[in-house]
Structure 1
Amino acid sequence: MDLKKLSDTFRARGFKVDIFDDEHEASKFILAECENLNVGMGGSVTLSETGIADLLLKRGNAHWHFRNGDRGEIRAAAEAEVYISGINAISQTGEIVNIDGVGNRVSAAIYGANRKKVIFVCGINKITDTLEKALWRAKNVASPLNAKRLKRATPYAAKADKCYNCNSPERICKVTAIFTRPTGDNVQTHIVIIKKTLGF
């Protein structure tokens, strides 16, 4: 894993990249980036594990449906000035892959009428060599574990071992987004990498 190569690749594509040794350093950076701005967050085990979500919620300027399932919070998050999301996989070749069941997480990361910044947060366990491996990881590692966590009635939720390409209405891999460049002319897009194993 070559973090410098990964950083250089994404910076050449217009992303801002910051790498931190731990979640405490990353949290300070993200809080500073979000100061005096309204924040929306997508469902993310990484944001929960690192404490980033709790810090933003405590500050009182954040919207997150992840714990209470409030659909109103999904709408408010989509309209926020800053949107923060985890990542299912990120490749050394310059792609971010996110899979979604509802669509709120990928759509809000792509576009928001009031959007000023998008911040993607991930641990080093999400890094892959190629786009193909990133797609494989998102489908066969992240999705089964998330389906199990959410207790979905799908084959991979029961076994949490791989994608079965099921046709269940409860499948969580209904939408796959591949980010190759930031979207929006005036939207800063940050990638925050933490040198730890985080999330699924």
Structure 2
Amino acid sequence: MEVLKKIYKKHGFELICVPTQEEALSVAMSFIKPHMSIGMGGSTTVKQIGLYDYVTSRKDITLYNQYEPGISMEENMQRRRQGLVSDLFICGTNALTKNGELVNADGSGNRVAAQIFGPKKVLIIAGINKLVENVEEGFKRIHDVASPKNIERMNNVAISMGKEPRYTMSNIGKKFAYINGDEEGRTTIILVDEELGY
């Protein structure tokens, strides 16, 4: 993993490797400071390690939480926009390569937009299952693994809310991003040696 850290450092990313999701949560919590504004991108991994619950429990931060139950779609979109100019943006990634690159697909685009530019700092949480050889494998992973699982999850949520399932391969990943580097110090990736998320 030391070689991988050096590769990511050359691309401007800080890569922190941890063995468990419990340790990932502990490290991630250290990034949350009082009076911060925080945006979030959709991430099963962030929820799995307990970071979503931790952030939503903090009363000393401003959280632009588009996932808060009961808010209107107008409020949801406003919070997504506010997240793009936050102090910290927390999200997952669809794939990260052994060459130090990030590969993502997004429906609305707020997650990939934030990874590229806007928030002062970006914190990405990823399981070891997201690590791929190269960009081509990253896009293949999105098509073959991440998208089908996300479509199933999101349609199941819609059905449980009494709505028609409407998510398909054509609308879940309309915006794609390949990121080959960032301003040094802006993006930190916590890579967990466990399979997490999709």
Displacement after TM superposition at 1:58 (Å): 0.5
Look up the equivalent residue of 1:94 and give its one-letter code: G
1:187/1:14 CA distance change after superposition, 3 Å = closer
Pairing 1:146–2:159 present: no
Pairing 1:99–2:105 present: yes
Pairing 1:56–2:55 present: yes
Q: How many residue pairs align between the two structures?
A: 181
Cα deviation digits, residues 127-183 of structure 1 (max 9, x gap): 1111111110012110111111111535xx5xxxxxxxx6x4xx211011011101x
Question: Normalized against structure 1, the TM-score is what?
Answer: 0.83
The answer for the alignment partner of 2:132 in structure 1 is: 128
**SS of match in other structure, 2:90:** strand
Pairing 1:110–2:116 present: yes
Look up the equivalent residue of 2:116 and give its one-letter code: I
Runs of 4+ that moved beyond 4 A = none
**SS of match in other structure, 2:172:** coil
Root mean square deviation, CA, Å: 1.9
The answer for the alignment partner of 1:162 in structure 2 is: none
User: Which one of the candidate residues 16, 19, 24 is aligned to 1:18?
Assistant: 16
**SS of match in other structure, 1:90:** strand
Displacement after TM superposition at 1:186 (Å): 7.1
Look up the equivalent residue of 1:121 and give its one-letter code: I
Cα distance in 2 between the residues matched to 1:9 and 1:91: 10
Gapped regions of structure 1 (runs ≥ 5): 158-165
Greater length-normalized contact order (CA 8 Å, ≥ 6 residues apart): 2
Look up the equivalent residue of 2:107 and give its one-letter code: G
Q: Equivalent pairs: percent with the same residue?
A: 30
